[in-house]
Amino acid sequence: MAKVDVGNGVYDIDLAAFDKDGTLIDFYHLWGRKARVAVEAVVARLCGDAGLAEQLYRSIGYDPATGLAAPDGPLAIASMAKLYAICATVLYQQGLSWHEADDIAQKTFAGGLGALPTGDLVRPVGDVRQLFQRLAGAGVKVTVVTSDDRTPTLATLELLGVACYVAGIVCGDDPIPNKPAPDSLLYLSREFAVPVERIMMVGDTPGDISTGKSAGVGCCVGLLSGAGKRGDLAPHADAVLTSIDDIRVIG
């Protein structure tokens, strides 16, 4: 058991579940670049125009002009499989057969969006290592719940140097319903024999907070380090913080 101070209160927790993108690492530095690479690759493959690019960006919820993603849009919260399906649907609507559209989505689009992260793209948005070390040292099970696939998630944790502190991971390609369904947190509760009311969920989107609330966790922390804004998070989060650096382990 550990006590964690999240600014407006102290909570007793035994398990902390963290979203990955926008919570542990800079969402836009990674996914903004990935989105552009993926869309440009598809447009080039089809000798398409700006109209196709615009439709693809709009469909995944990313604005290349501002560099921002919709906090409740697919790029911010959907699994990779769903993002590929969105791409295939757009291409089908452009007149391609479904087989060809799906093939391009699974190969060309996925080649950009699903590529393994490299060190230059993984930029922490706080002292992830120190927080994870303190939580683990206090006896808290540190876990990651993400819509990203497992292989790039593991690669990201290795690049951050925190894989050794992470006790459990639930990813978008696992056979568990994705966020905002509560299943990932209920699974972790069972896996580590921790009552849900002693779990803290930390994330940067309304979907993260909804996941925690629907599971009945003891504390939901919204962060302003990713896609979500205060107005998106405050109505339902127990606390809204600037970044993970504002989380204090006090015992």
Average pLDDT of the chain to the nearest whole number? 96
Phi, psi angles (nearest 5°) of residue 145:
-125, 110
Which residues of the chain form beta strands (DSSP E)?
2-5, 10-13, 15-18, 62-63, 68-69, 141-145, 166-170, 199-203, 219-223, 239-241, 248-249
Cα–Cα distance for residue pair 106/87, rounded to 1 Å: 9
Structural contact between residues 126 and 242, judged by C-beta atoms closer than 8 angstroms? no
pLDDT of residue 63: 97
- CA pair distance 148, 20, nearest whole angstrom: 8
pLDDT tens digits, residue range 103-152?
999 999 999 999 999 999 999 999 999 999 999 999 999 999 999 999 99
> pTM for the whole thing?
0.94
Residues 177-195: tens digit of each pLDDT = 999 999 999 999 999 999 9
Q: What is the CA radius of gyration of the chain?
A: 18
> What percentage of residues in the chain have a pLDDT greater than 70?
100
Q: Is 59 left (phi over 0), alpha (psi -120 to 50) or beta?
A: alpha
Tokens representing residue 237 in the block? 């989060």
Contacts of 27 (CB under 8 A, 6+ apart): 21, 69, 76, 204, 226, 227
Domain ranges of the chain: 2-26+124-249, 28-113
Fold entry, domain 2-26+124-249:
Rossmann fold (3.40.50)
pLDDT at residue 168, rounded to an integer: 98
For residue 58, the surrounding DSSP H or E stretch is helix 50-60
**Cis, peptide link before residue 195, omega less than 30° from 0:** no
Pairing of strands 248-249, 2-5: antiparallel
Residue ranges of alpha helices (H) inside 8-49 are 27, 33-45
Name the residue among 23, 12, 11, 7 with its Cα closest to residue 204.
Answer: 23
Listed as ranges, residues in the chain with pLDDT below 50 are: none
Using alpha carbons, select from 233, 34, 180, 52 the residue that is nearest to residue 121.
Answer: 34
Other Cβ atoms closer than 10 A to 158? 13
Helix (H) or strand (E) holding 155: helix 150-160
Triad 40, 34, 59: Cα angle to 5°: 65
- What pLDDT, on a 0 to 100 scale, did the predictor assign at position 8? 80
